[in-house]
Amino acid sequence: MFPRSISLRSTQKRLTVAGVVGTSAALLFSLMSPAASAAPAPDNPVPYGKGYMGVGYLQDGKDFKPDARQLHLGARADADLKANPEGVDVSSWQGGINWSSVRGAGIEFAWMKATEGLTYTDPTFSDNYLNAYNAGVIRGAYHFARPDVSGGAAQANFFADHGGAWSRDNLTLPGVLDIEGTCYGYSQADMQQWVLDFYNTYKARTGRDVVIYTSPSWWNECTGGWDGMAARSPLWVANWTTGTPSIPSGFPSWTVWQYSSTGAVGGVSGNVDRDRFGGDRSRLLALANNTP
C-alpha cells in the first residue's frame, strides 16, 4: 500500500534520485578503499527507513516501479476462507490507530513494524504494540530487512533489542523477518546465509522461530527457491490475488497470507494491508504461545 501523503510519481522520483546518489557515493568509496569492493552492492533499494510490508512486492530484485502496484488494487480473497482469523499489518505510514475499533471490526491479529536495518526504529511501534495488546489484538513485531546495511545476525540482535522480543502471554506473536524488493547485490547462496544468520540469532535471543514474510518471486529469484527455511520458519506470503495464493518454491504451505494492500478497517485511516491466518483461532493462539 502506498502512503497517503506520498504520490506515486514523487515516490518514484525520490527513489531514482536516491539510487543515483547512492551509486555515485558507492563508486567514490570503492575508489578510496579497496576493502569496500568486498561488500555486496545494493540494486536500488527503497530509501532507508521507508520500508514497510509490500513496498517491494513488485520490485522482485529489479528496478522499483511503484506505478505497477496499481495493477493489484482492490484484490480480495475468496469468501471460502472467512472462518480463518483476519489480520492487518501496519507501520508509521498509517499514523495513529484506534485499536479498540480495529478489534471491534473483527481483526484478531496484527504485526507492526518495529525496526529496519541496523539503526531505524518505527516511531509508532511502542503505541501500536501496547494499544493493540490492551484492545485484545494478538500482535507481534516485524523487522524490515536491509542486507545492504549489515549481516543478518546484527539485524536480528537489533530487532530483538527494539521490539522483537517474545513472551507467552496469549497475545504476543513471534517476530517477522520482512525480506522483499531487491536482492541487494547478493548471490543466492549469500542471501540464503544472510537469512539463516538472522534466523539463528533471533532464535537464540527469543527461543522462537522467526516468521518469514516474502513474495514468491523475491524468494525464487534471490534465494533460488531455497528449501532451507521450510522446516524452520512459518511462511507469510505476499500475493495480492483472489482464490488461493501462490507460494515460493521451497515452502510446502503458507501460514499467513497478505492478500490485499487496499483494505479498509475501522480505526485505521486510509488503506491498510489485509492478512489471513491459515488455520482457526486455536492455531493462531498456538503460534502465539509456541504450543503444539
pLDDT average, residue stretch 117-139: 98
Rounded to 5°, angle at Cα 205 from 168 and 158: 110
Q: Which of 89, 116, 148, 209 is catalytic?
A: 89
Q: 134 CB contacts (<8 Å, ≥6 apart)?
A: 99
Confidence at residue 70, expressed as pLDDT on a 0 to 100 scale: 32
Measured distance CA(121)–CA(163) in Å, rounded: 9
Angle at 251 between CA 44 and CA 106, to 5 degrees: 85
pLDDT bracket for residue 176 (50, 70, 90): very high
pLDDT value of position 57: 82
Does the active-site annotation cover 178? yes
pLDDT at 256: 98
Alpha carbon distance 82, 146 (integer Å): 34
Per the CB < 8 A criterion, the answer to whether 36 and 29 are in contact is yes
Active site (annotated) includes residue 169: no
State the pLDDT confidence band at 248, using cuts at 50, 70 and 90.
Answer: very high
197 is catalytic: no
Binned at pLDDT 50, 70 and 90, residue 287 comes out as: very high
Mean pLDDT taken over the chain: 83
Q: Cα(219)–Cα(69) distance, rounded to whole angstroms? A: 19
Choosing from 180, 209, 221, 273, the catalytic residue is 180
pLDDT in tens, 203-233: 999 999 999 999 999 999 999 999 999 999 9
pLDDT score for 241:
86
| 105-117 tens-digit pLDDT | 999 999 999 999 9
The dihedral formed by the CA atoms of 186, 191, 195 and 200, expressed in degrees to the nearest 10: -110
Per-residue confidence (pLDDT) for residue 58, from 0 to 100: 60
Judged against a pLDDT cut of 80, whether residue 56 lies above it is answered with yes
pTM metric for this prediction: 0.81
Asked which of 29-38, 170-179, 187-196, 251-260 is least confident by mean pLDDT, the reply is 29-38
pLDDT band, very low/low/confident/very high, at 45 (cuts 50, 70, 90)? confident
Domains observed in the chain: 70-289 (3.20.20.80)
Catalytic residue among 43, 178, 273, 275: 178
How far is residue 93's CA from residue 30's CA, in Å, rounded to a whole number? 35
Instruction: List the grid coordinates of 122.
Output: 518505527
